[in-house]
Amino acid sequence: MCCELLLLVRTNTAALLGFHRQYVLVVPSVLQSGSANTACVQLLNLKETVNLNVFLEYERRNVTVFQEVVRRKAFYCSIAWFLPSQVPEASSNPVAYITISLNGTTVNVTERRVLAIQNKGIVVFVQTDKPIYKPGQEGK
């Protein structure tokens, strides 16, 4: 399993001394098709209600990862997503895009980043009663 993460962070650097809006979206940079993946979203210092949308674009399909109306100043959510049917097997082009969108009265932010989709491999594990068998030997 790949441990690299794609991190989207946005902060208003002009307001270093006061409170300013911030958001962070953390997802794996390589998604495994056919298995659950995790995404975490955090919003800070909101001054209004915003619509939060996070979705994956892959091969002209949009898969909603997260969608919520946020009415609090601070918000955090960690969610397991991507049921096997939602993320298709990677074709010759494994490139996908993750998009976060925040929309409110004075907030209109959309950010899109590239990720990859990797097919889940099949592994067969065989355990025997001894480490090496000679040709013709039978196991117990």
Write the DSSP assignment of 88-115 as a string of letters: PPP-S--EEEEEEEEE-SS-EEEEEEEE
Inside any domain, residue 82: yes
pLDDT in tens, 86-115: 666 666 778 889 999 999 998 888 999 998
The tokens describing 111, both together, are 């950010």
The tokens describing 35, both together, are 């298995």
The tokens describing 73, both together, are 């100043």
Backbone φ and ψ of 86, nearest 5° = -80, -35
Inside any domain, residue 45: yes
Inside any domain, residue 108: yes
Inside any domain, residue 136: no
More confident residue, 12 or 117: 117
pLDDT at 30 over 70: yes
pLDDT at 44 over 80: yes
Rg (CA), the chain: 21
Range(s) of the domain holding residue 36: 5-118
Q: In terms of Cα–Cα distance, which of 86, 81, 3, 90 is closest to 40?
A: 81
Inside any domain, residue 137: no
The contacts of residue 3 (CB under 8 Å, 6+ apart) are 28
CATH number of the domain to which 114 belongs = 2.60.40.1930
Total domains in the chain come to 1
